[in-house]
Amino acid sequence: MKTTTITMTMYVYYQKYSWQDVGEYLALSFEIPDSKASTFVCSTEIKFEVPENYDPTAQKIAALEAEKIKAQYEFQKSVAAINECIEKLQALEYKA
């Protein structure tokens, strides 16, 4: 399989929030300004190989299918909760 070499600059930051005991290093493909929690450490070049004709379509479809299943599940949960409320209201004895 033919591949293409991709070269990118990565920006390394040290990040530690006040609630953390230990900080962590974070590599980003973009620069961010130093802040109270994150400070720039260094930049580095990385190289990696990707298939020459890489097509993410199948992966995107799979992700959308998974998202659809999750949405259907959440919808069913919501409808069940609404139905439960309706049933409870219908079970109340009406007194005029």
pTM tops 0.85, yes or no: no
Look at residue 91 in the predicted model and tell me its pLDDT. Answer: 84
Measure the CA–CA gap between 6 and 54, rounded to whole angstroms. 12
Sheet holding 24-28: strands in order across? 24-28, 3-15, 38-51
Return per-residue pLDDT of the chain as tens, 96 residues: 899 999 999 999 999 999 999 999 999 999 999 999 999 999 999 999 999 999 999 999 999 999 999 999 999 999 999 999 999 888 877 666
Residue 51 near residue 57, CB atoms below 8 Å: no
Domain map (residue ranges) of the chain = 1-54, 55-96
Look at residue 90 in the predicted model and tell me its pLDDT. Answer: 86
Look at residue 94 in the predicted model and tell me its pLDDT. Answer: 66
